[in-house]
Amino acid sequence: MADVLFLALSVLTIGAAIAALELRSLIYGSIALMGTLGGIAGFFILLDSPFVAMFQIAVYVGSIAVLILFTVMLVKRELIFKKIEDPKRKLAGIGLMLIIMVAVGAIILDSGVKTITTDSAPVDFREIGEDFLTYYWPALIAMALILAGSVIGALVLARREDTVENGQRTD
């Protein structure tokens, strides 16, 4: 049963990641990104780590992906980035991705993952929570400030009005 769930989550996560990259609409791409991040949270649940899965959902799906959606909606632009249709660039990107995947796979296989013993007791999620609140609170505060700055930047971009003066467009 776990293998079927892993395969389903893999298909969902990879499919949503591809959709996030290939969809022309930034809104739908952001929603596909939320699906990708949700699939990664599903992997944490399969690894019997519900605390990290809920943290993944709260921080990434709940904060960052929603921030991206609000930013895209507030900017009021149809196309923020111009998509360049060049088949050579697409093939180069696929080739680079394959090279990186093979390199990372070789590093993982040579790292000695198979020799790791799992005789130790699992870490309690309460200890992880205590570590977050004891040792990693500055990083959490910095992340909150960065998110707040991003929201303020999105509001400034949304508030800006493009005006036409004397035949000249000002941005």
Q: Which of 67, 65, 58 is nearest to 129 (CA)?
A: 58
Specify whether the backbone of 76 is left (phi greater than 0), alpha (psi in -120 to 50) or beta.
Answer: left
Are 30 and 69 in contact, with CB atoms under 8 Å apart? yes
Question: What's the maximum distance between 2 C-alpha atoms anywhere in the chain?
Answer: 76
- Over its length of 171 residues, how does the chain's per-residue pLDDT go in tens digits? 888 899 999 999 999 999 988 887 777 888 888 899 999 999 998 988 887 888 888 888 877 777 777 777 666 555 555 566 778 888 888 899 999 999 998 888 888 777 777 777 777 778 877 887 788 888 878 887 887 787 677 667 666 555 555 556 555
Q: Which of 171, 153, 168 is nearest to 74 (CA)?
A: 153
As assigned by CATH, the class of the 2-81+123-170 domain is: mainly alpha
**Which pLDDT score, from 0 to 100, does residue 149 have?**
80
pTM listed for this prediction: 0.51
